[in-house]
Structure 1
Amino acid sequence: MLRDTWLIFRRDMKAALRNPTWLMIGLAQPLMYLFFFGPLLVDMLKRGGLSDVDGWMLLTPALIAQLALFGSSFVGFGLLADYRAGVVERFRVTPVSRVALLLGKVLANSLQAVVQAAVIIVLAYLVFDLDAPFAGVLFSLLIVFLLAVTLSASSYALALTLKSEETFPAFLNAVLMPLLLLSGILIPITAGHAPAWLYTVSQINPFRHVVDVERSGFGGDFSMDALFTGSVVVLVMAAVSVWWGTRTFQKDSA
């Protein structure tokens, strides 16, 4: 299975390198937030006394989480295109493992998300004097990788379940927008400044805890209290998503 996974991974990575346009398009939104929204947020946090932490330490980890959230959630479109073109069907008549078919694609997508996140972090260091510890940045990139695994595996499973280019984006938009708003990506949702009901609802959102653990890593806080919840949440989500994706690929190939 390892060889099959490597073959699918290499195929998808070569395709991405031959046409890096989609990688640049995926970077466009977080870059606009970084350059056009970041200075406003940092100034607002400083003047309003909403946080004692440097605004770039709050925004940058949130942006790389947002990049994984949106970039990896829509990879199912590529699978739908392959499905319509008969590529998936051709893979089925080969001895390639169905699990490897999923894992190879998921790993390729996740590596691309990590590279994009690294670009955002480097720009934040160079342009906005980000002062995050190196160990915290590496930890955050690992979280981005696991989040991308979660979302890309779920996206592939959902695409094979729906098999509709019309239903797929509508469903994703309906789910992703509340996840984004309730994760505190744009502005941290804290007990002291958010309405009690909004803070409570945000605590139910698993991506809220992923963003929190990203920010803890950037802040150099490696205590158990800071890292435990978010790390467990993203590990569980990754495991469940890969299990769902594997079952869907095997069932659809039966």
Structure 2
Amino acid sequence: MTFARQTWIIFRRQMRLALRNPAWVIIGLAQPVLYLALFGPLLVPLAQQIGNVNAYTFFVPGLLVQLGLFGALFAGFGLISEWREGVVEAERVTPASRTALLLGRVARDIVLLTVQGILLISLSFLFGLTGSIPGMVFGLFLTMLLGGACSASSNALALSTKSEDVLAPVLNSIALPVLLLSGILLPISLETGAPQWLVTLSDFMPIKYIVNGIRDAFKGDIATLTTLWGLLWTLVLFAAGLWIGTRTFRKDNA
């Protein structure tokens, strides 16, 4: 059986499980939509300060990245349940590639994330989003890669901890600093009272460059250095996530 076939079998099974309870797709989309409806209007008076005529052209890319992070970063909880039920061990005794076991699950999360991203962008037009359609497609592509990186890393961490009680605080301790320091909701540059050490620390956050790259793309500035940095960091995180996830799935004690 080819590697592609093995990946497809895992992906198909995971999609069937997801489609049996499609409410999770809506639940995962609920938080960004609430931010869009409740926080977005507060940015309208700041449109000139953030350099955009349309505040939603600035805000929606951040919500996309937030969706990619939180929509896939908690994927490991499902894997822990499968491990506890013996599903993972049953898969590991088959000749299937350990990489295929991971990629099938990551592909499911990317597909679900893509659907959520399309819905989020579509709803944003109702609030007044304007911008470049090709740029939005490019931004959605970067979000898919980021989601794949988060999904692979989450699955790796889940197999390493094998406990929801451990996984939850670890993921929250990662997600909160990223959310605050990456400028997903509001760039630190607008916080005039922010200490310099906090601004400097934010420069070491790869997600910050991804958010800024998607924002440039939404404005139609795809061929810029900012967008290039966003693409490069997304590819680096995606490759690193797959490497870590594959290595964990290949361990004998996984």
TM-score range with shorter-chain normalisation? over 0.9
Question: Deviations 1:194-247 (Å, cap 9, x if unpaired)?
Answer: 543222111101111111111111011123312121111110110011011001
Structure 2 residue aligned with 1:22, among 18, 24, 28?
A: 24
**Structure 1: runs of 5 or more not aligned:** none
Residue equivalent to 1:96: 96
CA distance in 2, matches of 1:39, 1:124: 12
Give me the CA root mean square deviation: 1.5
Q: When the two structures are aligned, how many residues end up with a matched partner?
A: 250
Contact kept in structure 1, 2:184 and 2:211, CA below 8 Å: yes
Paired with 1:165 and 1:79, the residues of 2 have a C-alpha distance of 10
Instruction: Please show how residues 30-179 of structure 1 align to structure 2 within 5 Å.
Output: 30-43=32-45, 45-46=46-47, 49-53=48-52, 54-125=54-125, 127-179=126-178
* Offset from partner CA, 1:63-88 (integer Å, 9 cap, x none): 01101111100000000000001011
Map 1:210-229 → 2, pairs under 5 A: 210-229=210-229
In 2, Cα distance between equivalents of 1:106 and 1:85:
20
Seen in structure 2, the aligned counterparts of structure 1 residues 39 and 77 have a Cα distance that, compared at 3 Å, is same
Q: Report the secondary structure of 2:164's partner residue.
A: coil
Q: Which residue of 2 aligns with 1:244?
A: 244
The yes-or-no answer on 1:3 pairing with 2:5 is yes
Does the Cα contact within 8 Å between 1:76 and 1:155 map onto a contact in 2? yes
Unaligned runs of 5+ in 2: none
1:201 matched residue in structure 2: 201
* AA of the residue aligned to 1:217: A
Q: Equivalent residue for 1:12?
A: 14
Q: TM-score, normalised by structure 2?
A: 0.94
Q: Distance in 2 between matches of 1:5 and 1:67?
A: 25
Q: 1:15 Cα deviation (Å)?
A: 1.4
Between 1:6-15 and 1:24-33, the stretch displaced more is 6-15
Given that 2:209 and 2:226 are in contact with CA atoms closer than 8 Å, whether structure 1 keeps it comes out as: no
The residue matched to 1:112 in structure 2 has which SS? helix
Say which is worse superposed, 195-204 or 22-31, in terms of deviation. Answer: 195-204
Supply the AA of the counterpart residue of 1:235.
L
Deviation for aligned residue 1:191: 7.7
